Amino acid sequence: MCGAPDQATIDRSGIPDGETVIQGLVYAGDSPVSGGYVRLLDSGGDFTAEVVTSATGQFRFFARPGSWTVRAIPGGGHDGGSADVTVAKGEVSEVRISV
């Protein structure tokens, strides 16, 4: 299965004006989940975006400030996992999801 390219670390200078970055890793045990899906849900639980994890389990979203749920859908017989995150303008939030 083909995943997204590995993501370089981003700092505040790389964030578009008025947005935030939610990025992280998806792991099954000690192994990164490659080619899994990660969804971004708004504070009401509505679907906003979806990305595929890289070969090293990385994902990244650019989003508006606020409260979000990041949900991993790994496939391969693994159960999904999720994390709630609240981010402020210009902030980079790191999330690790275990499935």
**Digits of tens for pLDDT over the chain (99 positions)?**
445 555 555 555 666 677 899 999 999 999 999 999 999 999 999 999 999 999 999 999 999 999 999 999 987 777 899 999 999 998 999 999 999
- pTM value is 0.83
d(CA 10, CA 86): 18
pLDDT of the residue at 18: 74
pLDDT of the residue at 17: 74
Of the candidates 64, 68, 67, 70, the residue with the CA atom closest to the CA atom of residue 89:
64
pLDDT of the residue at 1: 41
The fold for domain 18-93 equals Immunoglobulin-like (2.60.40)
Query: Which two tokens mark 73?
Result: 């859908």
> In this structure, how many other beta carbons lie within 10 angstroms of the beta carbon of residue 1?
10
Cβ atoms of 72 and 33 within 8 Å: the answer is: yes
Which SS3 state, helix, strand or coil, does residue 12 take? helix
What's the one-letter identity of residue 10?
A: I
